[in-house]
Amino acid sequence: MLNVYLIIWFFVFLKIKKEISRCYELVHRLGRGVVYLGSSRMGPDHPHYLQALELGKEVADLLDCTSWTGAGPGLMDAATKGALESGKPVGGFKIAKEAGEWTASNFPFLFATRNLSYMQVFFCKKAWFGGCCC
């Protein structure tokens, strides 16, 4: 029985190692920068959405760095749009499965998929948000 658990943990370790190495390559390619965390439930008609859009644009201009988000809708989308309006690079770490549904939803990504890393281990996403900060 112990051998079964060791085999399972070995494969989990390999999956985590693979995700971390993909994240490292993405951050190395795009550069460290600023991380935006925010609600995915606030749409374009919400005042905070407009503030996040302006913040993303102004910070990207001021710091001249990559903007990182969770690659989702809402405030993350606003920060991404703001950085893109400034002409600065954007990157994202997206959980491959959220809330019981696959994220191949109708939400259009604003940046190239080569600047996006899909993850299945939530820990890896949160760890790399710390790793890509200035």
CATH of 32-98+113-134, one of 1.10.1740.10, 3.30.2420.10, 3.40.50.450, 1.10.287.110: 3.40.50.450
Rounded distance between C-alpha atoms, residue 123 and residue 58, angstroms: 30
- Whole-number pLDDT of residue 6: 84
Q: Residue 102: pLDDT above 50?
A: no
Least confident of 30-34, 50-54, 130-134: 130-134
Q: Residue 94: pLDDT above 90?
A: no
- Whole-number pLDDT of residue 63: 93
Question: pLDDT-based confidence at 1, cuts 50/70/90?
Answer: low
Q: Domain boundaries in the chain? A: 32-98+113-134
Per DSSP bridges, beta strands 97-98 and 101-102 are: antiparallel
Question: pLDDT-based confidence at 110, cuts 50/70/90?
Answer: low
